[in-house]
Amino acid sequence: MNSIRVRITVMLVCSVLCVVVLAGAVMSQMVVRLVEQNFRDGLTDRVTAFSNIITFKDDTAILHLQPAPAEGEILEKPTELLKRSFAKSHSQFDIFVKRAPNGRVWASIKMGPGWLSWPVPDHTPPLEVWYGLAGWMALVTAGVIGVALTVAHQTTKQLKFLETMALSVGKDGVLPVIREEGSAEIKATARALNVLANNLKKAMDSKIRLVAAAGHDLRTPMTRMRLRAEFLGDGERAEWLRDLDEMDRIADSAIQLVREETVGKGTEITRLDELVGGICNELRLIELPVRTANIEPAVVRISPIALTRALRNLVINAATHGGGAIVSVVASDGVARVVIEDDGPGIPEKFLESAFEPFFRVDPARRQPIPGAGLGLAIAKEIIERQGGFLEIENRHPHGLRQTLSFEIDVMLAPPSSDNAMERVS
C-alpha cells in the first residue's frame, strides 16, 4: 500500500463503487415509488371502466355492451399488436384501437352482439421518471468529478516536493538535499535527484578547480617569458611585454570569476546611493569621465564589497569604451535601479545576448586600443545575481549603451527634499 499506483487504484475502485451504489440506491427507491404509483393508477382506471359498463341486479352483474366500437381514428400499429397478443392465447376477436376526439385511446373488442370498449393506459413515462433519471445521472457525474478531483489532489500533493525543491535551488545553482520519505515512487525520485545534485556539484567543482589551476599555473611560464623579454631589443621587448600583460589580465580575470562563483559573501543593509556616489568619486579621482545624475536614496540588502567590484567594472567599462559614464539611482515601486549610460557605439543587437559570456568582445577596434580580458560584464553579472539583483543592457538611440542594475528595496526611505532631489551633474 506504499505505492502511488496501488493507492490510486484502490481509491478509484472504492470511490466509483461508492458512487454507483449510492446512485443505484437512490434510483431503486424512485423505481419502487414509480411502480407503486403505476399500480394505483392502473387499478383506478380499470375499476372506473368496469363501473361504467356493469350494473348489478341482486347478486347478478350485467355487462353492458356498446352497439358499435368507440369512435375515433384507427391506430394501425397498436391494433395489429393487440390482435397478435390475442392470437397467442388462441382467441379470435374483431379488435380496433382508436384515438377518440378527446385524445383518449380506446380498445374496442367484438363480443357477441356488441362491442366492449376498454381504455388503453398511457405508458408514457411521467415527469417524475425523467426527473429521477436526470438526478441519477447528475449524482453519478458529481461523484465521478469528486473522485477525479480527489485523485488529482492526492497525486499532485505527493509530487509537491518537486516544486519545493525547484524553488529552493540556490543562486549558485546547487540543488538542495531532499529527504527520502513518502511512497515508493517518491523515495525513488528523491534518491535519483539527490544523486543528480551530487554529481552536478562534483562536475561544477571540478571545472572550477580546473580553471583556477590553469590560471594559476600560467603565472610561472609567463614570469619566465617576462624575464627573457628583458634581454630583447627595445621595440620587440615592448610588444612582448604588452602581450604578457594581456595574458596576466586574462589569468587574473579568470581566477576572479572562479572566486565569485565559489565564495559567497554575507549581505548587509546598505545605502545604495551612497555606495554608487563613492564609486563615482573614486573613479573621478583617477581622471575617468564619470558623472552622476539624479541619485535617489535607496536601502538594499547586499554585499558592499562584492557589489562595489561589480559596479566599478561596469562604470569603468562605460567610461573607457563609451566615452564617458553617466550614473543615476532611481527608487520606485519597491525596486532600486542603478542606471549607467554612455555615448559610445553600443553593442550590435545580434551580440546583446552574448555580451555576458566570458571573454566576449565586440570587434577588434574595441579590443586593440583599450586593454581588457573580456570578463568585466561576466563577472559583474555573476556578482549582481548572487546579490539577488538583475543586470540588463540595451542600446540607446541614436547611440550609446544603457546598463541597468535592479535590486529589491529593503527599507523604504522618506522622499528626498526638493534641494537634494534636483538633478545634479558633477
- Give me the sign of the Cα torsion angle 33, 38, 39, 41: positive
pLDDT at 110: 86
The backbone torsions φ and ψ at residue 169, rounded to the nearest 5 degrees and listed phi first, read -65, 130
User: C-alpha grid cell for residue 393?
Assistant: 543592457
CA 52, CA 70: separation in Å to the nearest integer? 14
CA distances from 370 to 248, 283, 313, 323 (A): 15, 17, 14, 12
Task: For residue 33, give the amino acid letter.
Answer: R
- The pTM (predicted TM-score) of the whole model is 0.48
What pLDDT is stored for residue 368 in this prediction?
A: 46
Strand, helix or coil for residue 14: helix
Q: Which three cell numbers stand for residue 154?
A: 492526492
Cβ(243)–Cβ(225) below 8 Å: no
The domain ranges of the chain are 1-59+125-158, 66-111, 265-421
Cell numbers at residue 276, please? 554608487
**Do 401 and 279 touch, CB atoms closer than 8 A?**
no
| Per-residue confidence in pLDDT tens, the chain, 426 aa | 456 667 677 777 777 777 777 777 777 777 777 777 776 766 676 677 667 677 777 777 777 778 888 888 988 888 888 888 888 877 778 888 898 888 888 888 888 888 888 787 776 666 776 777 777 778 777 877 877 777 777 767 766 767 777 777 665 666 777 777 777 777 787 888 888 888 887 877 777 777 677 767 777 787 888 788 888 877 788 888 877 777 776 677 666 656 655 555 567 889 999 999 999 999 999 889 999 988 999 999 888 888 888 898 899 989 988 889 999 999 998 899 999 999 888 888 888 887 877 666 665 444 444 444 445 677 788 888 888 899 999 999 888 999 999 999 876 554 444 444 333 444
Q: Characterize 138-159 residue by residue with b for buried, 16 or more Cβ atoms within 10 angstroms of its Cβ, and e for exposed.
A: ebbeebeeebeeeeeeeeeebe
Q: pLDDT at position 205, please?
A: 75
- pLDDT at res. 419: 46
In this predicted structure, what is the pLDDT of residue 342? Answer: 92
Which fold is adopted by the domain 265-421?
Heat Shock Protein 90 (3.30.565)
329, amino acid identity = V
Are 49 and 108 in contact, with CB atoms under 8 Å apart?
A: no
Q: Report helix, strand or coil for 99.
A: strand
